[in-house]
Every structure is written in structure tokens, then in C-alpha cells.
Amino acid sequence: MKQSHGLTRPWPVAIMLGGMIGSFWLLAIAMRQMPLGTAYMVWTGIGAVGSFVLGLVLFSEPVSAARLVAAGLIVAGIVTMKLAS
């Protein structure tokens, strides 16, 4: 989304839409085998942590211990939720 500059650049918008469609498709597949709450939590967690990592790698966003701990807590929550279901 960031590279689309307000949805004005067609290729970044097309890639973004493709990613969104793929993401929803993968969520639908995941919900076949796990409870809705678990599937949704994993889906949103992957999106949140994935966006965080891409921001660090592609956009040189600042890294701090607090941000790394927060991302780690999200991952720990996802793992715990998956193990509990």
C-alpha cells in the first residue's frame, strides 16, 4: 500500500489487490481445519508481524527493543493459541 502512493500507481495497487485476494483465500483454507477464532488470530498475526518485518527490511523503519518484544509477543500468542486448539 505504501508504494501505491495513495492508490495512484497501478502496479503496486495490482500487487496489493492480488496479495489481499490471496490472503483471504488462504484464510478460507485455514478455516477448513481450525476453529474460526484460531484461524483469524493466526491470519491477523501473520499480517501484523509480516508487515512489521517488511517495514524493517524494505522501508528501513526504526528497530527498537520494545518493537521487537511486541512482535515476539504476537508470535508467542499465535503459537499459544494454535497449541491450545
Query: What's residue 85's pLDDT?
Result: 75
Q: Which three cell numbers stand for residue 28?
A: 478460507
Query: What's residue 74's pLDDT?
Result: 95
Reported as a pLDDT band with limits 50, 70 and 90, residue 81 is confident
Q: Give the separation between CA 48 and CA 77, rounded to whole angstroms.
A: 12
Q: C-alpha dihedral over 80, 39, 58, 18, to 10 degrees? A: 170
Q: C-alpha dihedral over 28, 21, 38, 31, to 10 degrees? A: 0
| Tens-place pLDDT, residues 48-75 | 999 999 999 999 999 999 999 999 999 9
Q: Give the separation between CA 11 and CA 13, rounded to whole angstroms.
A: 5
Q: Give the separation between CA 82 and CA 85, rounded to whole angstroms.
A: 5
